[in-house]
Amino acid sequence: MQQAMSVTRRGTRDLTTGTIAKRRGRLISSGKMLVAILALALLFRLSLVAADNSLDGIKQRGVLKWGADAEGGAPYVFIDPQDPKKLIGFEWDLAAALAAQLGVKAEMVQNQWEGLVPALQRGNFDIILNGLEITAEHRAQIAMSRPYYAYAQQIMVRQETVGIARAEDLRGKAVGVLAASVAQRILEKTGGADLRVYPGNVESFQDLKGRRIDAVLLDLPIAIHFAKSEPALKISGEPFAPGFYGIGTRKEDEALLVALNDAIGKLIENGELQRIYENYGLWDRFQEKLASARTESTSDQKAVSTLRDWQKYLPLLLKGAVVTIEISVLAMVLAVAVGLALALARLFAVTPVRWLATGYIEAIRGTPLLIQLYFIYYGLPNLGISLSAFPAAVLGLGLNYAAYEAENYRAGIQAIPHGQMEAALALGMTQWQALRHIILPQAFRIIIPPVNNDFIALFKDSSLVSVITMVELTKVYGTLAASTYDYVGLGLMTAAIYFGLSYPASLLADHLEKKLR
């Protein structure tokens, strides 16, 4: 009895000790969590202080980081043709001059042009210096300096083109513009033009020379620069819709904005700004307005909520979704047909054809889809084969996924026991009859899951065709987000549309699997 009571007391003591240990562990965990929360709050507070004193931070590290896009960025900032390791451009020189006024050095941070404003807000760099127009849309998101360059819109056409010299003449014409530019906004407001949106300026000029579009509307500095290097193109008509470029900063960086405004004023007064522009042939009558030009650094324009105004934006996204469906379905049909031919050639054709099929599959799988799209759309015209954007998109996606479908087919065919083929041949069937009636029907049942996965992947990869001016769902999203800066609301709607389109395909595949099982 005493022994039992001793055991009971020991067990109770162990339980009590265990409970205390558990409580102590919880307290320690809670303390650690509290310390972590306080540390995060402190870091957040320090980040706010750092943001408020960004000018001091720039001077302490001795570097002014400026965001720009050097890809097709002439004459703003671009690779020197004489020295590919070196960047040049009037904004490259301007950044160095501004940094010198602040007593620091300039360091460029590469960023895609239409994503400069979100990247600035994330803190990727200190300022935007890349032909950023001073507009109400931009001032609603960021602060902008006093003007440092006066631009205007300019039309460019082929040398033989006549009758396109004014904005009114662009109605009914295929016109190329830079994504998220003032030129795009002008044509969207006026309407009537077949708008083609490009990620860079070089691509629009290639399409203009290739007769895919009738004209390009762009900022005057770009037109002046490319008119010198593109003898097949010319400037048409007088510049119109003048405006100003400004340096973008975060709204809380007030001290930095004041310093930049002072620096620009000094460069105008001492003539350094004019010398930089004359060096690139960009000083014109518009620049005389810089000394007296003033623009507000903030805007009372309200931020756009696309979720609240979904009735305005959802139809545009659905219109892009229709194009996505058309491209995806046609490309998958092409991929399935070509993939089957490649698989049969690799397994049953004569040796040279088998080598060719194998080489095609490995080459396509070993190179990026984006490069293949560029080759089909921009490269083939040099060989005399010019395709419009839609067939080029279908062909590029279809031929790319054909290589993957070929491997799916090959795996499915080889999964069927070889004895079935031998038995069919012994019964007097030809090899093609055996494939058609015995081998392939069984192989199709095996390959349905991977083929369905590939279709869903192709459906999402169709977003890549936006680089060849196809206005599909992702391109519509990017265009709207670049003008409204509501990446979250539009992103949620776009993701919901993609899911709503791809999920039924998954359900259909499951149904087919069960039926064939």
User: How much is the mean pLDDT over the chain?
Assistant: 86
pLDDT at 305: 79
pLDDT at 507: 84
Q: What is the pTM of this model?
A: 0.74
pLDDT at 272: 96
- Flag whether pLDDT at 152 surpasses 90: yes
Tell me the average pLDDT across 341-353.
93
Domain positions in the chain:
2-52, 310-516
pLDDT at 370: 93
User: What is the band of 337 on the pLDDT scale with cuts at 50, 70, 90?
Assistant: very high
The amino acid sitting at 473 is L
Lowest-pLDDT choice from 2-6, 134-138, 510-514: 2-6
**454-507: per-residue pLDDT in tens?**
998 998 899 999 888 888 998 899 888 877 878 889 999 999 999 998 888 778
- Flag whether pLDDT at 95 surpasses 50: yes
* Fold (CATH) for 310-516: MetI-like fold (1.10.3720)
Query: Which comes out higher in pLDDT, residue 146 or 14?
Result: 146
- Flag whether pLDDT at 43 surpasses 70: no
The residue length of the chain stands at 517
DSSP state of 62: T
Provide the angle, in degrees to the nearest 10, between the axes of the packed helices 254-269 and 272-279: 80
pLDDT at 8: 44
Q: Which of 347, 221, 194, 198 is nearest to 278 (CA)?
A: 221
The conformational region for residue 78 under phi > 0 = left, psi -120 to 50 = alpha, else beta, is: beta
User: What is the band of 12 on the pLDDT scale with cuts at 50, 70, 90?
Assistant: very low
Q: What percent of the chain has a predicted confidence (pLDDT) above 90?
A: 58
pLDDT at 445: 85
- Flag whether pLDDT at 5 surpasses 50: no
Residue 147, number of CB atoms within 10 A of its CB: 23
Q: Provide the token pair at 345.
A: 């050639």
**396-455: per-residue pLDDT in tens?**
999 999 999 999 999 999 998 988 988 988 888 988 898 888 888 888 888 888 898 899
The three-state secondary structure class of 108 is: strand
Tell me the average pLDDT across 349-369.
95
pLDDT at 44: 43
User: What is the band of 346 on the pLDDT scale with cuts at 50, 70, 90?
Assistant: very high
Is residue 491 within 8 A of residue 477, CB to CB? The reply is yes
Lowest-pLDDT choice from 159-168, 208-217, 449-458: 449-458
pLDDT at 421: 87
CA dist 371 and 455 (Å) reads 20
Cα 246 from chain centre: 24
Lowest-pLDDT choice from 1-10, 94-103, 251-260: 1-10
pLDDT at 3: 47
pLDDT at 125: 96
pLDDT at 39: 52
* Residue in this structure with the two tokens 């014409």, named with its chain if needed: 173
- Flag whether pLDDT at 373 surpasses 70: yes
**107-126: per-residue pLDDT in tens?**
999 998 888 999 999 999 99
- Flag whether pLDDT at 61 surpasses 90: yes
- Flag whether pLDDT at 299 surpasses 60: no
Residue 146 CA neighbour count, 13 Å, CB half: 17
CA distances from 23 to 15, 17, 26 (A): 12, 10, 5
User: What is the band of 375 on the pLDDT scale with cuts at 50, 70, 90?
Assistant: very high
Biggest CA–CA distance in the chain, Å, is 114
Is residue 158 within 8 A of residue 233, CB to CB? The reply is yes
- Flag whether pLDDT at 137 surpasses 80: yes
The three-state secondary structure class of 143 is: strand
Task: Identify each DSSP E strand in 111-247 by its residue range.
Answer: 127-128, 143-144, 149-158, 174-178, 194-198, 215-219, 233-245
User: What's the start-to-end Cα distance of the chain, in Å?
Assistant: 68
CA dist 225 and 397 (Å) reads 35
Lowest-pLDDT choice from 16-20, 83-87, 233-237, 439-443: 16-20
Q: What percent of the chain has a predicted confidence (pLDDT) above 70?
A: 87
pLDDT at 303: 63
Residue 102, number of CB atoms within 10 A of its CB: 18
Rounded (10°) CA dihedral 119, 122, 126, 131: 20
Tell me the average pLDDT across 129-138.
91
CA dist 467 and 202 (Å) reads 12
CA dist 71 and 83 (Å) reads 16
- Flag whether pLDDT at 46 surpasses 60: no
Tell me the average pLDDT across 181-199.
91
Tell me the average pLDDT across 250-255.
94
